[in-house]
Structure 1
Amino acid sequence: MTTTRRWSDPLDPEEIGGVVALVRRDERIGARPRFWGMAVEEGLARGLAPGQGRPARLVVMNPDAHEAWEVTAWTAGSDRPASLVAWRPVDAKRPGVSSEEARLVARAAREHPLLKEALARRGIHDTSLVWVDPESITGFEPEDLKDRRLSWGTVWHRESEDDNGYARPVAGLVPIVDLETLDVVRVEDHGVLPVPGETGAYRSGTWGADREVAPLEITQPAGPGFTVEGHEVTWQNWSFRVGFTHREGLVLHELTYRDGDAVRPVLRRAAVNEMYVPYLDSDPTAYRKNFFDWGEYGAGPLTASLELGCDCLGEIHYFDAHVLDGLGEVKTISNGVCLHEEDFSVLWKHVNTRTGEADVRRSRRLVISFFATVANYDYGFYWSLYQDGSIELEVKLTGILSVSGVAEGAPPPFGRLVGPGVQAPTHQHYFAIRLDTAVDGPLNRLVEVHAETEEDEALNPYGNACRMVPTVIPSERAAARVNDPSRAVHWRVESAERVNRFGDPTAFRLALPNTTRLFARPGSVVERKAPFVAKHLWATAYDPAERFIAGEYPNQAPLGEEGIAAWQRADRPLDGAQLVLWPVIASHHYARPEDWPIMPVQRIGLRLEPDGFFDRNPSLDVPPSPPSERCHAAPGPATEGATSCSCHGNTRVTPP
């Protein structure tokens, strides 16, 4: 059965299953094929009529023949069945690793004699209580094994089935695994250390009685303020479409803002495009840790199901997500994406102390989010739309630190003790965002703005004059930029076609408050693997083939030869181009004892806000909170007759 679909809608189970069924009929995939992802070919799909089939691609591997293919296909439409178009060979080492493949590897490793012998030397004989996490080996392939599809393993031990294994690292033990044969080809043993004995449990009651917490209820008696039709969302002046892909997870398409009678485009596409996590420790069980969690594993299949009252509060709309798993089955993630409104404190306020009049508006935001669990870490991605026309991405980092075992009493030189015999290496999290801009139309330009003190004393007689200096970024080679708070650097995405009433190009401003640099030697694997982390903002002219900042297949790829660093060499003009921005935000994580055994959320993000896009504050039309949601007025302390008013706004706090 077919349904009416837009080109940007996520693939549904019928589309995925229909194409996979055709692929399975081909003898070349062998008796035990493995798969890595299926997604719509967006560059070809744009402009297709609803109800048509959609172009898609998937990756299938024959591990027995050391072969892999990228298969292009058409999903079934109302007028024709699914069909296969072409098979393109891919280097068999390079497709990403699925969760199903990871489980096969873990089981095979636990049962392998080499690993059992190494575990027995540590007094571990029940290997059913052992976890083995297959890790990316890109850049660290042993020379004699470089033609194989490989992984290396981190090893953990549990004292019981419900123990937190990530609190008990098995120090010094590194299995190297062939992903195709599931054979442990060698085991590195760097010396026996005791497995940490302290519990890493974090469930309720483990560390004492729970504190008393008063109930807090979120209610919207009239229902939510947004509407959802299929995958199209409308909220106040905003509208957009919800997409979902195997590699990026949540994708937002066609973000527009209604300004009076005009519907004005802002972004064509927005998604978290890649995540890179390098560990900055020479410990034998840590130095290989540097992952493209999206390109080597995939955000889509790692997406978690969300729960009302736990992950999201209030009037919620959920979207299910569907992905192709590693064995070729359709996997449905119930409630994979959450849509809801939140109160967000004060939008704007002023107290006229002469008249005693106070005007205040509560801010409300629309939040669309998903969570991905990548082994030990959990990452939440929250896109928020605001009533003043701003867009914000917030990344929430939580879960469990990836730790190493150390000798008790020995301070770790490149990390932090978080438990007896347990150290958390210093590491970093880089998130590369893809923003296909469309500020007031398809043709935009990128402008960098920084602050300078006016040096001309005639213009600056008192020494306090400051200029904001704009510089147009003309082409791609000049579009690798570094944030610099000391110069108040920010960027404007300007329309190449429209101006505001002051004659300036209409624009949105991009601010990157969370950046860092890579603390690794030039020429190291960590530095060469992900050259894009050396800059905080990249820009390219749109090309449908340039989908991922780290390249199409980063797993066991040549270091630094693909992705945005290669695209920049074309040096295409950017002034008046279909612009794609690639901001890179980051967290430098020097762990705290308070991050253990489970980490309170850390927050990083970016912000896009209108900068001359409107002629004045666009939220002047937000109404005051209704009387039922106001506090009682009270005399103001500064001026007799003045009042202060604090409003609950759109979220109510109900006492017990």
Structure 2
Amino acid sequence: MTELPRQLMNHPLDPVTAREIAEVRRIVDRAGLVTEHTRFVYVGLDEPSKQEVLGGTDARRFRVLLLDLATQVSRDVLVDLAGGEVARNDVLDTVTGGQLPVLDEEFELVEQLLAKDERWLAALAERGLDVADVRVAPLSAGVYADEYPDEAGRRLLRGLAFRQDHPADPAWAHPIDGLVAYVDTINRAVDRVIDTGPVPIPAASGNYEDPEVSGPPRRTLRPIEISQPEGVSFQLDGNLLTWENWSVRVGFDAREGLLLHQLGFAGRPIIYRASIAEMVVPYADPSPVRSWQNYFDTGEYLVGRYANSLERGCDCLGEITYLEAVIADEAGNPARCATRCASTRRTSASCGSTPTCGPVRRRPAASAGW
């Protein structure tokens, strides 16, 4: 990729730059922590404390979560960017501390492994299904050591199945219930398949972009035009946004997504830090297939990595300023997560598919609706 221009850091909460991420990777590699099997699960700014920020610190530290797919070792690493060294290197106990967030490549791996498992294929055949038409949503498993003592410390995903009637079909509309598989992604093995028997698969289409499903597009809405001939009312200095008496620092993190710091009004502090700390989705289904289903979208899946880049004249109209965010991919290299573009006054546009953050691939249709 083309390296992004480096901005001089003048505030400890300035956005992460591509050059900083590249330097963090270099430091971690130089410390002997990177092999061909190493995956950078997360790289993000280790924010200074509130007292340090208000005191004017210039420290830039990064937290790096590493997973070695060969040795099964998980690490929590702290990198001192100014000192050019690893300040902390903790090997995690996955039995007591749990697993690192799910890797993007693991989503694809689970479906590939199940497509060759005889138990899985037999369960699909009993339901009259072709494995080529089945998408798998590989989900964070949790640990149920009381029921399955051998799960402790292992990196497992539990896969739920969905039928996809054609390549553009949203498979979520056709859940294949009564069936779940437990997959060990490190050892690339299907641990167990639970099949409680066939259940009727919903046949209704979920493709609401199909006029046969949602009806013809509306023709009653009149054009809208948004313009500010004298320019915008806000000012953006780096990541410091000011508007009227309001001020806020806008940031972005691969785990939490949008970050807001030092929100104030007329010079008075209101909120020091705001973010989506976690988004929990408990399904509370007692069946043996779904009793474990309980998502933690921020901590387990790093929702910020799946942000879509906005498109000029498509997602927003009028005088628009887009902010750029940079994260690390699973190889530890910098990747764009959004684009900064010039203002636009286009009043209409046909929106195509928007790219996901950086080089991160889209999940299969069955798991793309998060």
TM-score normalised according to structure 2 size: 0.81
- The one-character-per-residue Cα deviations of 1:320-350 (angstroms, maximum 9, x if unpaired) are 222223343333212499x99xxxxxxxxxx
Within 2, Cα distance between the matches of 1:305 and 1:283?
38
Within 2, Cα distance between the matches of 1:27 and 1:108?
31
Kept in 2, the 8 Å contact 1:278–1:289? The answer is yes
SS in 2 for 1:318: coil
Does 1:320 find its partner at 2:328?
no
| Residue pairs, 1:178-257, within 5 angstroms | 178-207=184-213, 208-212=215-219, 213-257=221-265
| Residue pairs, 1:370-519, within 5 angstroms | none
* Aligned residue in 1 for 2:163: 157
Kept in 2, the 8 Å contact 1:19–1:84? The answer is no
Within 1, Cα distance between the matches of 2:23 and 2:79?
10
Within 2, Cα distance between the matches of 1:300 and 1:319?
14
Q: Which moved more, 1:206-215 or 1:287-296?
A: 206-215
Is the alpha carbon distance of 1:28 and 1:265 closer, same or farther for their aligned partners in structure 2, counting shifts above 3 Å? Answer: closer
Higher gyration radius (CA): 1
Decide which of 295, 300, 304 is 1:296's aligned counterpart.
300
Is the alpha carbon distance of 1:244 and 1:374 closer, same or farther for their aligned partners in structure 2, counting shifts above 3 Å? Answer: farther
Decide which of 278, 285, 303 is 1:281's aligned counterpart.
285
Within 2, Cα distance between the matches of 1:143 and 1:241?
47
Is the alpha carbon distance of 1:18 and 1:103 closer, same or farther for their aligned partners in structure 2, counting shifts above 3 Å? Answer: farther
1:189 maps to a residue whose letter is D
Give the drift of 1:158. Answer: 0.7
* Aligned residue in 2 for 1:91: 93
**Residue correspondences, number:** 340
Within 2, Cα distance between the matches of 1:2 and 1:310?
28
Within 1, Cα distance between the matches of 2:149 and 2:16?
40
* Aligned residue in 2 for 1:64: 70
Decide which of 10, 13, 21 is 2:15's aligned counterpart.
10
RMSD (Å), alpha carbons:
3.1
Is the alpha carbon distance of 1:296 and 1:94 closer, same or farther for their aligned partners in structure 2, counting shifts above 3 Å? Answer: same
Structure whose residues are more often helix by fraction: 2
Give the drift of 1:268. Answer: 1.5
Within 1, Cα distance between the matches of 2:55 and 2:113?
45
2:217 maps to a residue whose letter is D
Is the alpha carbon distance of 1:7 and 1:321 closer, same or farther for their aligned partners in structure 2, counting shifts above 3 Å? Answer: same
2:184 maps to a residue whose letter is D
2:203 maps to a residue whose letter is G
Kept in 2, the 8 Å contact 1:248–1:300? The answer is yes
Within 2, Cα distance between the matches of 1:336 and 1:249?
17
Greater relative contact order (CA < 8 Å, ≥ 6 in sequence): 2
Does 1:306 find its partner at 2:310?
yes
Give the drift of 1:238. Answer: 0.9
Give the drift of 1:159. Answer: 1.5
Q: Percent identity?
A: 32
Kept in 1, the 8 Å contact 2:124–2:131? The answer is no
* Aligned residue in 2 for 1:134: 138
Give the drift of 1:177. Answer: 0.9
* Aligned residue in 2 for 1:100: 105
Within 2, Cα distance between the matches of 1:58 and 1:38?
5
Within 1, Cα distance between the matches of 2:212 and 2:320?
32
SS in 1 for 2:175: coil
5+ residue gaps, structure 1, are 341-370, 379-398, 403-656
Within 2, Cα distance between the matches of 1:149 and 1:58?
19
Give the drift of 1:197. Answer: 2.5
Kept in 2, the 8 Å contact 1:276–1:291? The answer is yes
Give the drift of 1:139. Answer: 4.3
SS in 2 for 1:228: strand
Structure whose residues are more often strand by fraction: 1
Is the alpha carbon distance of 1:3 and 1:74 closer, same or farther for their aligned partners in structure 2, counting shifts above 3 Å? Answer: farther
SS in 2 for 1:301: helix
1:158 maps to a residue whose letter is Q
5+ residue gaps, structure 2, are 345-355
Within 2, Cα distance between the matches of 1:114 and 1:320?
46
1:210 maps to a residue whose letter is P
SS in 2 for 1:196: coil
Within 2, Cα distance between the matches of 1:183 and 1:243?
39
* Aligned residue in 2 for 1:114: 119
SS in 2 for 1:317: coil
Kept in 1, the 8 Å contact 2:45–2:61? The answer is yes
* Aligned residue in 2 for 1:331: 335
Kept in 2, the 8 Å contact 1:110–1:132? The answer is no
Kept in 1, the 8 Å contact 2:143–2:152? The answer is no
Is the alpha carbon distance of 1:217 and 1:107 closer, same or farther for their aligned partners in structure 2, counting shifts above 3 Å? Answer: farther
Is the alpha carbon distance of 1:187 and 1:46 closer, same or farther for their aligned partners in structure 2, counting shifts above 3 Å? Answer: same
2:307 maps to a residue whose letter is T
2:218 maps to a residue whose letter is R
Give the drift of 1:250. Answer: 0.9
Give the drift of 1:225. Answer: 0.8
- The one-character-per-residue Cα deviations of 1:482-537 (angstroms, maximum 9, x if unpaired) are xxxxxxxxxxxxxxxxxxxxxxxxxxxxxxxxxxxxxxxxxxxxxxxxxxxxxxxx
Give the drift of 1:47. Answer: 5.7
Does 1:175 find its partner at 2:181?
yes
Within 1, Cα distance between the matches of 2:293 and 2:315?
29
2:53 maps to a residue whose letter is R
Within 2, Cα distance between the matches of 1:12 and 1:156?
39
Within 2, Cα distance between the matches of 1:16 and 1:278?
34
2:207 maps to a residue whose letter is A
Kept in 1, the 8 Å contact 2:280–2:297? The answer is yes
Within 2, Cα distance between the matches of 1:100 and 1:288?
22
* Aligned residue in 2 for 1:269: 273
Within 2, Cα distance between the matches of 1:230 and 1:304?
22
